[in-house]
Every structure is written in C-alpha cells, then in structure tokens.
Amino acid sequence: MASSDEPLLDLEVTGIAHGGVAVARHEGRVVFVADAIPGERVRARVRDDRHDRFWRADTVDVLDASPDRRRHPWPEAGLERDPAVRAGGAEFGHIRPARQRALKAQVLAEAMQRFAGLELDVPVGAVSASAADAGAPADPDEPAEGWRTRVRLHVDAEGRVGPYAARSHDVVPVASVPLAVLELQEIAALDRRFEGAAEIDLIAPSAGEAELVVRPAGERRGGAARRGRRAASTRDAARPHIVERVGDRLFRLDRDGFWQVHRGAATTLSRAVREHLDPARFDPDADNLDLYGGVGLLAAAVGDRFGGDARITTVEADRRASEHAAGNLADRPSAQAVAARVDRYLDRLDRGGRTLAGASVVLDPPRSGAGRAVVDRLAALGPAQIVYVACDPVALARDVGLFREHGYGLEAVDAYDLFPDTHHLEAVARLTAIVG
C-alpha cells in the first residue's frame, strides 16, 4: 500500500486494463492507475510494491478530468479519502454508468482479440435492479447503485465492521453501502461493534426477509468443521436455507450457498441461456448437461425452454448445492442432479465410451473459467452446442480460444452489466462445431 513518502507522478491516462485499473506510461514503464479514466491527466502516488516491468499507483488528484467523471456514489471510496482507506469493491464508481459499460466492452473486445483471435464489438447492456422489473433491460442513464442482494463485510480487531480497503485486507469502517439493495442498507448496522466476529453477511433473498448473519471468528463458512459423515448429515439438515424466486419458479438453497448477487441476474441469465440455445441443434433425448450447475437455475431454464421431457443432467461439485438442485428440479422427470467435479464427471463419460453427440451443454464455470483440462475433455465428447456463461472476460476469451483449437466456433455472444460500479461483467456465448 502506498504511503505519503512514495513518489507522485503526473500521468497521461491512455487505456483501461482488465481488473479495473487505467493504463499510463512513465519513462517507458507501464503504470497501472486506480481511480482514473482513459483520456484524463492525473496526479498519482506510486505504491511501494513496484516491479521491474510495471508500477501500480493511486490517483490523488485529477488535473484534467474526463467528461465521464462523476462524484463517487460511495463517499468512502472517493478521491477525498487517502488511497489507503478507500473502500474497495466499487472501483468504477467514479465513472458515469454509460462509460463504465463502454470500458467493459473494450476489455472484452481486447481479450477476445488477444486470446481467441476474434474481432468483436459486443455492447454491455444495462440491467434493471428494481424489484418491480428486475432483469429487464434498463435505461442506459439509470443510476447503477442499489443492486447487490448479498454483501460481505469484515470485522477488525476492535469489532468495527466494513469492507476491505481497495487492494488490501485492511477493514475500512463505512457509514453507507450504496451498492446494496435498500433492504440491506436498512439493516446493515454499520455503527455497531461485533466483538469476536470475523464477517457479517447481509442477504436479501427475493422470496423472504433480509437477514444480517454474524460469522464468529474461527467458524468455517457453511458451519463448524465436520467430524464424520453422520454428524455432517445431521448438521446439514439443520443449516438455514433461503428461497429465491425467478419468474414463477422457486429455488431453495443454503443461506450461505452461491446465488447471483445482482437482483436481476438470475432472470437475465436464465433468459439469455434460453435464447442462446439453438432449437435446431437441441435434441431433447440427448445427454444434455448443465456443468457447474449450482442449485439448478440454468438446468431449469433449459427445461422451461424445451419442456419437461427434455433430458438434462446438472453437475455440481458442492454436494449441498447438488442436493438442492435435485429438489428444485423435482417437477422435471427427465432432469437429474449429480454431485461431482466437472472434470471427473467428463472423464467418467469418456472412460465409459460415451459421447455427447447431439447434446447441448450449458457451461457456467467459476471466475477462473473452465480451463484447458475441462475444455479438452468436453470438446472430445463432441456436443452439438455449448452455451458458456462467464463472469470474467479474459477467462471466457481464453476458453473460446481453446475451443477453437478443437473446431468449435463462436456463433453469438452477449454481455450484461450485472456488476455496476465495478470492472466485472457477465457474458453468455454460444459455440458450435465448425463443419468442413
């Protein structure tokens, strides 16, 4: 972290990099600058973790501002604060929403060109977070705040609660959490002391009351450390759960289980998967798969698109999530949930002499992407189409490049701004086997 005796540089900001930082140069060296916008001239303090090839710096003053600069909606993350105590998690908040989305589209395009060899221009669409029409396309000028239905805050040694400072693990006490939905802002208890706690989770399910959950220091997420299968099963049965609503469908999951954080994300991604699946290539009797399936959200979207008789297997490494998926898909007689690592499940298919000829695959990996091992296994099994849901543009581009090595081409891609005021985006792509 930078200190007051680190050097100050006046920099011409020329570009944007993946990770939410802008790009400048100083005497031939690349400088990654936080809290700046391409086209600006800023004064930045160099951080003390300097490298031979590049430096990192934090903007402390704007000498020539972009017309897209705005006052940060989170005061504790703004330039008025010293970089060491700026709240993290809203690194694009100083940029007007329309320019945020343009920069994200630029990062996606550059990643696709570099890692997949493709020239693309994919706009990043605004998504409404209002409770009334969550998931619908939003007015491009609509304020971007108030979208997070899950917020994790940390607790320092004195019991004060807050986010980590940007690019550190120092807890920063704050008076507001403007990215959170209103229900969470109202219960955040930011002025309370939580002695003996490690984290505070704020959760606002779409089919229930908002909750504040205190996680004591030393407790594992998902409950205490397990001692034996029987004890684990007993505790699992008693673990708190929540219910999320997507359209007319309800999804049950553990309270600390994974769910999309933007109020409109589950609806947006369910719709996108339905739209990206090519019905001409979909065989309801094939071994269709939903990989990294969680609690069955996207498997349900497939069933809703093609009917209850469409076969779909959702594969998820988290046993509890897979158990919930089985319950959430119980109305689909041709759906099943398998608790397994995706790479091992694909290995079993291959060893058993199975193929995925004619099958459609929904692929929703973690932020790190599917990676070469899964791409190689999946491509070798030969599905008719793959709908890839990605929350990292570089991981998506890398994996698209790997699929192209196996003869799969990118037919369509759309991108959504499901993480406003941050550098993150969500994209949904369709890949199909190239004929000839």
Per the annotation, binding residues are 260, 292, 316, 364
Please write the tens of the pLDDT for every residue from 33-81. Answer: 999 999 999 999 999 777 778 999 999 999 999 999 999 999 999 999 9
Q: Are residues 262 and 386 in the same domain?
A: yes
Among positive and negative, which fits the CA dihedral 240, 245, 250, 253? Answer: negative
Q: Are residues 216 and 255 in the same domain?
A: no
Q: Which of 103, 203, 387, 391 is catalytic?
A: 391
pLDDT at 234: 45
Q: Is pLDDT above 70 for 223?
A: no
User: Quick check: is 396 catalytic?
Assistant: no
Enclosing domain of residue 120: 101-130+245-433
Q: Are residues 211 and 172 in the same domain?
A: yes
Q: What is the mean pLDDT of residues 409-434?
A: 97
> What are the φ and ψ backbone dihedral angles of 216, each rounded to 5 degrees?
-65, 150
Residues in a beta bridge with 415? 124, 427
CATH of the domain at 17: 2.40.50.140
**Verdict on whether the full-model pTM lies above 0.95:** no
Q: Are residues 211 and 328 in the same domain?
A: no
Q: Are residues 373 and 429 in the same domain?
A: yes
Q: What is the mean pLDDT of residues 7-18?
A: 96
pLDDT at 144: 72
Q: Is pLDDT above 50 for 411?
A: yes
Q: What is the mean pLDDT of residues 260-265?
A: 96
Q: Are residues 155 and 189 in the same domain?
A: yes
Q: Is pLDDT above 70 for 391?
A: yes
Q: Is pLDDT above 60 for 2?
A: no
Mind spelling out the 3-state secondary structure of the chain? CCCCCCCEEEEEEEEEECCCEEEEEECCEEEEEECCCCCCEEEEEECCCCCCCEEEEEEEEEEECCCCECCCCCHHHCCCCCHHHCECCCCCCCECHHHHHHHHHHHHHHHHHHHHCCCCCCCEEEECCCCCCCCCECCCCCCCCCCECEEEEEECCCCEEECEECCCCCECCCCCCCCECHHHHHHCCCCCECCCEEEEEEECCCCCCCEEEEEECCCCCCCCCCCCHHHHHHHHHHCCEEEEEECCEEEEEECCCCCCCECCHHHHHHHHHHHHCCHHHCCCCCCCEEECCCCCHHHHHHHHHHCCCCCEEEEECCHHHHHHHHHHCCCCCCEEEEECCHHHHHHHHHHCCCCCECCEEEECCCCCCCHHHHHHHHHHHCECEEEEEECCHHHHHHHHHHHHHCCEEEEEEEEEECCCCCCCCEEEEEEEECCC
C-alpha of 65 from chain center: 30
What does the angle CA 16 – CA 17 – CA 21 come to, to the nearest 5 degrees? 80
Q: Are residues 156 and 38 in the same domain?
A: no
Per the annotation, binding residues for S-adenosyl-L-methionine are 260, 292, 316, 364
CATH of the domain at 112: 3.40.50.150
How many structural domains are present in the chain? 3
Q: Give the whole-angstrom CA distance, residue 343 versus residue 338.
A: 13
